[in-house]
Amino acid sequence: MSLDEPIAEDGNAKAYSVSELSFALKRTLEEAYGYVRLRGELSKVTHHSNGHVYLSLKDDKATIDGVIWKGNVRGLQVRPEQGLEVVVTGKITTYPMGSRYQIVIDSMEPAGIGALLAQLERLKAKLSDEGLFDPARKRPLPSMPMVIGVITSPTGAVIRDILHRIRDRWPAHVIVWPVVVQGEAAAAQVCAAIKGFNAYEPRPDVLIVARGGGSVEDLWAFNDETLARTVAESGIPLISAVGHETDTTLIDFVSDRRAPTPTAAAEMATPVLAELRGLIADYERRLARCGGRVVEERRQRLSAAAGGLPRPDDVLALARQRFDIVAGKLSAGLARNVAVHERELARIASPLKPGLLQRHARVELERLERLAVRMRPAIDRGFSRAADRITSFDKLLRSLNPDAVLERGFARIERADGSLARSAKALASGEAVQLVFADGKRGAVVDGRAAKGKVSAPEQGDLF
């Protein structure tokens, strides 16, 4: 559609539709400007849930809307924030639905060092308020690490200095995770390395994140918020050694220890083996001297105490002599005792023969058999008498059963607590009782009128 035909067939100005005019203006604006670079201050920054970023660029006289599509957000050098002065590159276009123009931003960079530092200060204040810089959360470094993880560039002097320093000081196993330490991909790679070491087996005892010196822009990757949070969340103590002693980055504040140089980081992470050996040798010498003094002191005290005691030979001489005399008599006495018992055994054993013992056993067996024959009738009579006594006891028990008389028409009176009422005097007027018959129980209440009329009930005879 073109706007070069202003006159219609009827001689009037051509009537365009709203969409025709809007899209014609859109094409004109895009063809006239294409890609441009703008410098301004960010305002109205909105990070949408779909990943896009909507914002405005302004200076002291004008404002232009802008949008950064999700695919370009990850590649930005700085995070868009309110009040940050930046230089952006993008395409000028219009938004026909709202009759406004905007810039679609492809890249963004800070307008200067001052802007970078201002952004860094705001981020530092934010993380400090969250407690990530709190000294109480920083962990102590291991005194004698066995495995050390180093995150740095695989080329350059930094890794050589670290490895050389560790090798001279301590025999630790060093694992190097190579990363880029400058540019847009540096922060993401260092984050991945820290997370990888935390999941690695064998897990390092300490981590070193190292980089040589450089400008603020060169070290800017280590001011990344995501990297700072990853360092704070690491389960392994971490030493930051980024830049020279005067350089300070964000991970220096969240790491467990900051080293002024990569070489100093290697020294912080490791003890000196030679010094430890010398210290142990000194402890051994001091222990030997102390032990020697203690033994000598005990020996002198023992000698002084032994001076007041009699000699062992003098104390044991009499007992030793008595022992020798008794021992000399013991052998002869034992021999005579054995001889006496031997003669006695021979005297007793001479009349003993197997036939004699067998004959005696047969006699005893026959006697036992005769005794058993005589005792059997007596045992049977005893069992019979016992059975008769049991039978008589059973009859007597049945005759004494208090429930047996109930079958003959008698009843038993029981009180409320289950006790037996043995006399009329024991019952009070109005007291509830139980009449127990042979076929069941019936409740009753004592009348008491017989007592008032002085009429005595006939006595019940003895049931038994």
Q: Which amino acid is at 70?
A: K
Tokens of 410: 């008698």
Mean pLDDT per 10-residue interval, the chain, length 464 residues: 54 72 77 82 88 89 90 83 84 78 86 70 88 93 95 92 94 95 90 95 94 83 93 96 87 94 94 90 93 91 82 81 85 87 83 73 86 83 88 83 78 85 83 86 79 47 42
Tokens of 427: 């019952």
Q: How many Å apart are CA 217 and CA 214, to the nearest integer?
A: 8
User: Can you list the alpha helix ranges (DSSP code H) found in 46-202?
Assistant: 70-73, 113-129, 157-169, 186-198
Q: How many Å apart are CA 220 and CA 185, to the nearest integer?
A: 11
Q: Which amino acid is at 43?
A: S
Which residues make beta-bridge pairs with 109? 87
Question: Would you give the distance in Å from CA 292 to the centre of its chain?
Answer: 47
pLDDT value for 130 = 93
Tokens of 376: 């059997």
Cβ–Cβ under 8 Å, residues 444 and 416: no
Strand order in the sheet with 238-242: 173-178, 147-152, 206-211, 238-242, 257-258
Strands 206-211 and 440-445: unpaired
pLDDT value for 448 = 64
Strands 100-110 and 53-58: unpaired
User: Can you list the alpha helix ranges (DSSP code H) found in 34-156?
Assistant: 70-73, 113-129
User: Can you list the alpha helix ranges (DSSP code H) found in 179-272?
Assistant: 186-198, 225-233, 250-254, 262-269
Cβ within 8 Å of residue 424, ≥6 positions away:
450, 451, 457
H helix count then E strand count, the chain: 12, 13
**What is the DSSP-derived secondary structure letter of residue 170?**
-
Tokens of 429: 């007027």
pLDDT value for 10 = 59
Which residues make beta-bridge pairs with 414? 420, 434
Q: How many Å apart are CA 373 and CA 392, to the nearest integer?
A: 30
Q: How many CB atoms lie within 10 A of CB 445?
A: 10
For residue 262, which of 249, 275, 280, 244 has the smallest C-alpha distance? 244
Listed as own residue / partner, the contacts of 111-120 with beta carbons closer than 8 Å and 24 or more positions apart are 111/39, 111/85, 111/86, 111/87, 112/85, 113/216, 114/85, 115/84, 115/85, 115/86, 116/78, 116/216, 116/217, 116/220, 117/216, 118/83, 118/84, 119/78, 119/79, 119/81, 119/84, 120/223, 120/250
Per-residue DSSP letters for 248-277? --HHHHHSSEE-SSHHHHHHHH---HHHHH
pLDDT value for 454 = 46
Question: Would you give the distance in Å from CA 142 to the centre of its chain?
Answer: 22
